[in-house]
Structure 1
């Protein structure tokens, strides 16, 4: 028994120090090197903070691109998914309602063209980004609401598309808040 007990206690102590002290200090140190020093990147518009680049927000007005739905109503303190599986009848009803609402708001889009990310919440409930396809499917609505040519809105999407990390890790993506701020700047004449 002593043969196993002493090494187990030593290993437990080493892992406790490693996982509870060293790892958090290293992660916090790396976070201080990131943009925003680990506190998020604040986005400013007309001299005031309008949001954070790494947190999703709700946009419901037709002149704005809509992001992913949130299972936690975009509450960063309660980041979580819905925990309902794809066969859950309540979840299916919510997704169907989101699809129907999206189609009402975007009459030029067919049901099969609606990207799943626009009607299903992300795992965190705070996803700030969309795929290029999810932004592209909203072009006609945004362009009509802002009285802009669709080509100009499409060019703005292309301008705000971020390449995958290191050129191959993950998909191309677009930050919804940054894109909507660019739309506001375009409407204000580029001020």
Structure 2
């Protein structure tokens, strides 16, 4: 595996996330590099800060930090889809539908197969949170970067409507409604055998 340098830059502004910094500047040498592709490269150990590998996309940079990206396993062809899991996730991104949006909330239709947010069991897969970040929308920060804008979730293989908070006010209000059960949710399931009793 070659350790040839693809990108090297000194940080000139304080208080930036590593993935945001790379999303802004990496396009100079790698057009089309996506936020999820950058996150995958970071987690794969291809990015170093001051000659030390950094594995967290959310790593905070400081003025005069030196950011270096190895050329290994990154090319303009695969930057958007670094592996098979990411390719599948990007296909799922195309199935996400925006149902409603205003300044506080975003209502989307999540396809089956798409994970809502990162988990230790995932191996470089893109998530709904990645999609939201790539869209450059303002997202609520009450749940942290890990769950940016996410107030509730749907299981991976459950499709359906989700409400995403764009403001911290909306995040707090939606969380309160879910806790107090003033917001209702309806699930529809398909059975391959009849139920023993006719019930609701």
Q: TM-score, normalised by structure 2?
A: 0.25
Q: TM-score, normalised by structure 1?
A: 0.26
**Larger fraction in helix:** 1
Choose between structure 1 and 2 for higher RCO, CA contacts under 8 A separated by at least 6 residues. 1
